[in-house]
Amino acid sequence: MALEVKICGLKTDDAVDAALAAGADLVGFVFFPRSPRNVSLDEAVRLAAPARGRAKIVALAVDPDDALVEAIATRLAPDLLQLHGHETPERVAEIRVRTGLDLIKAIPVAEAADLAVVPAYVPHVARLLFDAKPPKTPLALPGGNGLPFDWRLVRDLDPGRPVMLSGGLDPGNVAEAIAVTGVSAVDVSSGVESAPGVKDPEKIAAFVRNARAAATSRRPADA
């Protein structure tokens, strides 16, 4: 499977244009009021319009209620819904049935024991995303904290679903992350920003370029 690159937390037309121009495979829109990358549904619908058909549209929500998931499914109609909170496997299954959307479940990782939950989610999701476990501070977000974790924990992990890697990635370390893990997709947000929520087109281009180069240089057996 060819490596895919996701640029998440887009909130301006320029940021979407930069992600598309760089060749991102997935573009993400965040629905979480505490995040500096939060957008309204109206904004997301407008921002996603030029991406539709050119990149997969991903909606990110954190422990969303039924009203929000139904609004996202109906109005934005994303290709994927990313669940980035404490959703249980049962709740994930319910959301999949309710929306009919393909789901990404984010799994926060700090140690090997954190991977024990993976098998329970596999039947209900299209992809799994491994992100750094948030620090235990009041201002920490479920994602987008710019923190990496020990990538060796997910090296060559094969849970039966495509594996995405997030957490502290940036243009300078994405090649190493790909080489270490062998994942099928990488996901970046704060690592391509000049300030929280402000995407930097040059960093986006560099991230995609470096990820592609790293994927190309992988041995055929690892690709």
The domain tally of the chain equals 1
| pLDDT at residue 134, rounded to an integer | 75
**What is the residue type of 74?**
T
| pLDDT at residue 148, rounded to an integer | 83
Contact 37, 62 (CB under 8 A): no
Contact 111, 153 (CB under 8 A): yes
In a domain, 120, yes or no: yes
Q: Could you list the residue range(s) of the whole structural domain that residue 212 is in?
A: 4-217
| pLDDT at residue 143, rounded to an integer | 52
In a domain, 11, yes or no: yes
- Which residues neighbour 216 within 8 Å (Cβ) at sequence distance 6 or greater? none
Query: Can you give the C-alpha Rg of the chain in angstroms?
Result: 16
| pLDDT at residue 147, rounded to an integer | 72
25 flagged as catalytic = no
CATH of the domain at 181: 3.20.20.70
Q: What DSSP designation does 50 have? A: G
Cβ neighbour number for residue 96 with a 10 Å cutoff: 19
In a domain, 223, yes or no: no
114 flagged as catalytic = no
In a domain, 122, yes or no: yes
In a domain, 86, yes or no: yes
Contact 137, 175 (CB under 8 A): no
In a domain, 222, yes or no: no
Q: For the segment 132-151, what is each residue's pLDDT rounded down to a tens digit?
A: 987 565 555 565 556 788 99
In a domain, 59, yes or no: yes
Q: Of 25, 79, 131, 187, which one is the catalytic site residue?
A: 131
| pLDDT at residue 133, rounded to an integer | 86
What CA–CA distance (Å, rounded) separates 113 from 110? 8
Which is nearest to 8 in space by CA: 124, 110, 134, 146?
A: 146
In a domain, 126, yes or no: yes
Q: Could you say which residues of the chain have pLDDT below 50?
A: 221-223
Q: What DSSP designation does 7 have? A: E
Give the DSSP H/E element, type plus range, for residue 34: none
Q: For the segment 3-14, what is each residue's pLDDT rounded down to a tens digit?
A: 999 999 999 999
Sign of torsion, CA 71 16 25 85? Answer: negative
| pLDDT at residue 146, rounded to an integer | 62
Q: Of 8, 79, 170, 187, which one is the catalytic site residue?
A: 8
